[in-house]
A and B are shown apart, each in its own frame.
Chain A
Amino acid sequence: MRKLSRTLAAAAALMTLASPVLAAKLSIVMGSVGRDTEVLRQNLDIFEQRTGHEVAITTMPASTTDQFGQYRLWLAAGNQDVDVYSADVIWAPQLANHLVDLSKAAADVAKDHFPSIIESQTVNGRLVAIPWFTDAPALYYRKDLLDKYGASVPTTWNELSTTAKMVQDKERAAGNNDFHGFVFQGNAYEGLTCDALEWVKSHGGGQIVEPDGSISINNPNAARALEAAASWVGTIAPKGVLAYQEEEARGVWQTGNAAFMRNWPYAYGLGNGDDSAVKGKFGVAPLPSGGSGSAATLGGWNLAVSKYSQNQDAAIALVKFLTSAEIQKVNALETTKLPTIISLYEDSDIARVAPIIPQWKEVFLNAVPRPSAPTKRSYNEVSKEFWTAVHNTLSGNGSARSNLAKLEGRLKRLRGSDWK
């Protein structure tokens, strides 16, 4: 009897030793846009099968502004419930202290990603997040309607404005009263900063705060850009565009009620889904120029491991899995997410299913970054001041010139002697 129990104890001890990694329960948070959570769940199922870990998704609002506020609070409180965060490309400098240094863990794969993205996620020599997908917006246009009315794809904002007006008028005359020429993201949030940065940059108005930290936004070109955008609201764009985020704009577009849309590549796959009214009827082009070339704001999401995670090793394994070429390819095919791994742009499957992706390599390589690096910890406030000035201009609350002058004053106050 005694011998038996000793044998059993030994066997139990051996079994514990034999399983090298105990199954961990992990949790990942992300904003929910389109089919993202659904596809992530499929990815996670594969991970669970291969490793035995369990992963739960916590979904957050789609607005990156809302997500950031919550994440900052959780991280400052040392929340142990979340292991992996999906982080916007602009967050790295603001959250770095709470995230695990992944440079060692990613040493073997870092070189496969675009160096500029890896660099954007490196703070003081620490790689705080591994690139998951990148983003650069496109001008979505209705091929069928442009053909029908004999118009070409606009290459300048002026052309866009005239073509949108023409298509809108003719569609409405044909009885479609809910039809609009152009939809974009006009709500007062981070997305408006992206949209407006494109207008300003493409009109030669700089990028709000230049890489050297100087505040450049108060200039005639920027004012011209905002005036042009303000003229769209209520003419080619619905007045409600001032409350639209990505998903609201896509809602109008995908029900077939807009001729043009500014949105990220994720809308490409969804627009070609079976439930889409515009399936097979649209194309994408780089955003129009305002006289100084086309400009696209650099977006993208990265995966980071919380310093407060109780299962850091498993969490790092999860991040490496989700950012691997295998999964990035799945995401590219399923949800037209732009890969961050260079070689995937040569992939023939991707080129066939999501032709926007190889076509987009140049666009995103030349994308303009938001001034998150030069403004450091003040970026969120800079962005809020900027989108407030833009939102006021778009809603007819003060002229572009006076709003930009006010903005410059507020940014100077915010900066003080230097950005910190």
Chain B
Amino acid sequence: MPQTTPNSSENSVPIPLPSQDSMLQRERVRSAWLFLLPMLIVLAGVAGWPLLKTIWFGFTDARLDNLSGANFIGFQNYLEWVDYGEGDGEYFGLLADSEWWYAFRNTIYFSVVSVTMETILGTIVALVLNSSFKGRGFIRAAVLVPWAIPTIVSAKMWAWMMNDQFGILNDIGMTIGLLSEPIAWTASPDTAMLAVLIVDVWKTTPFMALLILAGLQMVPADIYEVAKLDGVNPIKVFFRVTLPLIKQALAVAVIFRALDALRVFDLIYVLTPGNSQTRTMSVIAQENLFQFDKFAYGSAASTLLFLVIAGITILYIKLAKLDFEGGK
């Protein structure tokens, strides 16, 4: 048996050797993938697979009791024309469900208002925390408390504070003469959404403040010193200097919050359960998946929710001209 090593055979065939540079590059890419692999496998298992399953169930007649016996039924969960004969008929499915569209509107309204409020308040809080004062470290930590409380707990806590009979909000409002009679915050259709917004803003403003603060700390201090020397007024400094420099951080923070806000569920489930004024897309999905005998319909709602969120996010990235490739 002839002793031929790979090396010797390689030597015998005259192919050009790859350059040192691209070999290193390739090596790097390979090890990068190697390092990413565990995470990708885990992600595929806990995010990718369930997502694909959910999308699949949306095209079937699956029931929670009988998931394995699900049959493919096409787009019927989304839209289906049921013919009653003689030209009479009706559309069924999510896209023809007025409640779905009502929930869609609620979700968008909630997201736009809450994220806007949180961004504005978060920026103000971040600006305050960025200036140096005594006890700043303590305040920075203290501000995070609402964010650290689990949503279920803060929702229940606020539900009690907003209680029409025993709640402290009504008590304070009545004592200082702001309210003429107690308001049923979570019950009345006029205030249910407002109540949810108040709690959400209270809870997530610290998160926004933290992300924006991180952006603020990247702004070099000497720019401010120059502005100060030139006697530019602080408001102009904010809009002309600070804002453009933290734009990127702000945009990322907004995306994080928007993703969260669009799939809001836990807060509403605890604070205003069953109230149609605050029914969001996630609530519809949960109801159909677990309360009603319509697992497939709920899966379709989840899929649609996923598409809506993906669509809005892509649109936002395009509009805000965010650069996630790390180029420039």
Contact = CB atoms under 8 A, between A and B. Distances in A.
Interface of A: 63, 65-66, 68-70, 72-73, 76, 94, 97-98, 178, 186-189, 238-244, 248, 251-252, 257, 377-378, 380-381, 384, 387-388, 391-392, 395-397, 413
Contact of B189 (A69, A189, A397): A397
A153 B272 CA distance: 34
Contact of A69 (B166, B187, B291): B291
A380 B292 contact: yes
B165 A178 contact: yes
A382 B92 CA distance: 17
Contact of B274 (A241, A248, A378, A391): A391
A63 B273 contact: yes
A418 to B, nearest CB: 14
Given A238-B164, A380-B293, A188 B65 contact: no
B126 to A, nearest CB: 35
A186 B291 contact: no
A188 B274 contact: yes
Contacts of A94: 293
Interface string B63-98: 011010000000000000000000000101000000
Contact of B187 (A241, A378, A381): A241
Given A72-B290, A94-B293, A187-B274, A251 B188 contact: no
Contacts of A240: 163-165, 182, 184, 187
Among B92, B276, B286, B294, find the residue whose CB has the most chain A CB atoms closer than 10 A.
B276
A237 to B, nearest CB: 10
Interface of B: 64-65, 67, 90, 92, 163-166, 182-184, 186-189, 272-276, 286-287, 290-294
Given A178-B165, A243-B164, A257-B165, A388 B188 contact: no
Contacts of B274: 65, 187-189, 384, 387-388, 391
A392 B184 contact: no
A243 B187 contact: yes
Given A72-B64, A251-B165, A391-B274, A384 B291 contact: yes
A70 B290 CA distance: 8
17 contacts: A65-B291, A70-B290, A72-B290, A73-B290, A76-B67, A94-B293, A187-B273, A188-B276, A239-B164, A239-B188, A240-B182, A243-B186, A251-B165, A381-B294, A387-B274, A395-B187, A413-B92
Given A76-B64, A189-B273, A395 B291 contact: no
A391 B165 CA distance: 20
A236 to B, nearest CB: 15
Contacts of A186: 187
Contacts of B287: 384
Contacts, number: 92
A395 B188 CA distance: 7
A320 B187 CA distance: 41
A391 B163 CA distance: 18
Contacts of B276: 188, 388, 391-392, 397
A265 B67 CA distance: 40
Contacts of B65: 76, 97-98
Contacts of A68: 291
A242 B188 contact: yes
B293 A413 contact: no
Contacts of B286: 69
Contacts of A396: 189
Nearest to A188: B274
Among B64, B184, B186, B276, find the residue whose CB has the most chain A CB atoms closer than 10 A.
B184
A242 B185 CA distance: 10
A189 B292 CA distance: 13
A97 B187 CA distance: 37
A23 to B, nearest CB: 33
Contacts of A387: 274
B202 to A, nearest CB: 19
A5 B275 CA distance: 70
Nearest to B181: A239
A68 B90 CA distance: 32
A76 B69 CA distance: 13
A239 B186 CA distance: 10
B293 A188 contact: no
A242 B165 contact: no
Contacts of A65: 273-274, 291
A243 B272 CA distance: 8
A380 B64 CA distance: 14
B292 to A, nearest CB: 4
Nearest to A98: B65
- What 10 A-B pairs come out closest when comparing CB atoms? A240-B164, A188-B274, A240-B184, A243-B187, A242-B187, A377-B293, A239-B184, A69-B290, A381-B292, A76-B64
Contacts of B294: 381
B273 A238 contact: no
A19 to B, nearest CB: 38
